[in-house]
Structure 1
Amino acid sequence: MSDDRRSDVSATERWVELEGVVNMRDSGGLPTRDGGSVQPRRLLRSDNLQDLSPADVRHVVDVLGVSDIVDLRSDTEVSTEGPGPLWHVESLTHHHHSLFGDGRAVTAEQALAVPEHSTRPVRDATFWSEHYLGYLSTRPDSISAALDVVSRSSGATVVHCAAGKDRTGTVVALALDAAGVPHDVIVEDYALTGERIEQIIARLMPRDLYGKALREQSVDDQRPRPETMQTILDTVQSEFGGATGWLTQQGWSTADIDRLRERLTT
């Protein structure tokens, strides 16, 4: 089957509208090459979860059925921001898998991929694809661990970082690729964040950790470009044989990969 299938579930239906986030959506409904689809309430992606209201928390737990939270932020971000409201929910398991070095102080510029003291113009697709591939080369352990959480979760898993765009986009793309979602659909899902990039930046701007870095660049510097994700998927395909090949190199067995695929699609 060619990579031209589209979801029967519209992007509008996949957005999760809560008071405390602006970039949460469900991967459920995305088609797979074998004629199936990703099941709803298995894999959700999101921006920072620090601002969820009590009503948001109830929706996450009782309606979305979330059991696991995968936090891709750096140690610096987690310690600076402090525990969010979901940390107080006993039914949730939190997994911190930073895509930066353990214990390393990480600036907001690094977390948001904003070059410090740089006059470089708009961050282009090449810049971002190189940045994302850096996650795969420097923190394959964290990416592998994050996907393992998704594969073993008893309920829905929320994968998030600060904006829910770059680190989250990379991990979710590998999960969807392993599940058999066509590349063009993964690219489209990644680029969907662009619809809310202004709101994402507005939400992060008042925060001490991110505000200065974001004020020094334009909205277009942070806008996701389809060609960025296409490059990532093409590179993983050519160098590893796709996400499943990459996971095999990380020590995953066929049974492990099947567990991830079945968790997302069955």
Structure 2
Amino acid sequence: MRNLNWNGYFNARDLGGLPTPLSTTGSTVFKRVARGPRREMLTDSGWAEARQWGLSTVVDLRCMHEVGGREGDPVIDNFTHSSLVIVSAPTEDQDNPAFREVCFPILDSPEYWRHNWRILPNLVRETMQAIANAETGVLIHCSAGRDRTGMISALLLGNAGVSPDDVAGDYAESVRAMAGAKTHAPTHDRQASWSVTEADQWIAETASIVREAAANTDAVFDTIGLSQDERSRLRELLTEA
């Protein structure tokens, strides 16, 4: 039930259905937040399926130079998503010298997450605020739907009381989904040529980083300056039926 088979789209999942003691239903609530790759991959029928799911707001984590159609993207009707709210909320400033030096070599790894919120806390905070302020039915996406989206999803799920192991499992699904897939990422993506075996080895090597992020969301939110009210709203988004 978590996988979203919107036409033209892959590596897309609902963040609902994961066990948490903080939820009134025992698990995160479906049809509140979804994660995925670049939205330009969706066909007209894919957008229709997303609307049927309940999509109202798209929170785009990419930098502005990454946004827009690319060769091979489907041609869609101009009115297909005209009534949706699309929020630009980049987690990265790729012109920032410190970010470039520290993070560019590891942008396809959760290793860079802690540097992202340390170097650019205001951008990560503004992303979380955009989600907290959005109407229910939010799609969060970046390019591959794996690393930036993985970082924000890990924080959302950890804040909602989902176990670090389950959060790491969610990240692993995206690694497997994107292994060997072209993503139009702004930097070299070594995973674009990986086999399933290489992806599984990577998951084993990096799972502890994802678990640590999920287990320490309050410390991360302290670092970025997210208010207690905003933390509560994000938690309720995924736990209040």
Output the TM-score relative to the length of structure 2.
Answer: 0.78
CA offset at residue 222 of structure 1?
6.7
Residues 250 and 196 from structure 1, CA distance in 2 versus in 1: closer, same or farther, beyond 3 angstroms?
A: closer
1:187 and 1:226 in contact (8 A); partners too: no
C-alpha change, 1:67 and 1:50, in structure 2 (3 Å) is same
CA-CA distance at 1:165 after TM superposition? 0.6
CA shift in 2, pair 1:44/1:222, >3 Å: same
Of residues 222, 234, 239, the one that matches 2:212 is 234
How large is the Cα RMSD of the aligned pairs? Answer: 3.4
Give the AA of the match of 2:84. L
Unaligned ranges ≥5, structure 1: 1-12, 116-122
- Count of aligned pairs: 227
Aligned residue runs from structure 1 range 19-98, under 5 A = 19-34=7-22, 36-61=26-51, 63-78=52-67, 81=70, 88=79, 89-98=81-90
Could you tell me which of 156, 161, 176 is aligned with 1:195? 176
Q: Is the 8 A contact 1:152 1:263 kept in 2?
A: no
**2:93 corresponding residue in structure 1:** 101
1:1-266 equivalences under 5 Å are: 13-34=1-22, 36-61=26-51, 63-78=52-67, 81=70, 88=79, 89-101=81-93, 104=95, 115=105, 128-198=109-179, 201-204=180-183, 213=188, 218-219=193-194, 225-234=203-212, 237=215, 242-266=216-240
Do 1:188 and 1:226's aligned partners in 2 also have CA atoms closer than 8 Å?
no
**What secondary structure is seen at the aligned counterpart in 1 of 2:143?**
coil
- What is the match of residue 5 of structure 1? none
In 2, Cα distance between the equivalents of 1:131 and 1:232?
Answer: 11
Offset, 1:68: 1.2
Residue by residue over 1:4-26, the C-alpha shift from the partner in whole angstroms, topping out at 9 and shown as x without a partner, is: xxxxxxxxx21111222111110
> Which runs of no fewer than 5 residues in structure 2 stay unpaired?
none
| 1:39 shift after superposition | 0.4
Q: TM-score, normalised by structure 1?
A: 0.72
SS of the equivalent of 1:66 reads coil
Change (3 A) 1:217 1:59: closer
Label 1:183 to 1:146 Cα distance change in 2 as closer, same or farther (>3 A). Answer: same
Secondary structure of the structure 2 residue equivalent to 1:255: helix
Structure 2 distance, partners of 1:86, 1:167, is 28
Identity %: 26
Deviates more, 1:218-227 or 1:177-186: 218-227
2:29 counterpart letter in structure 1: Q
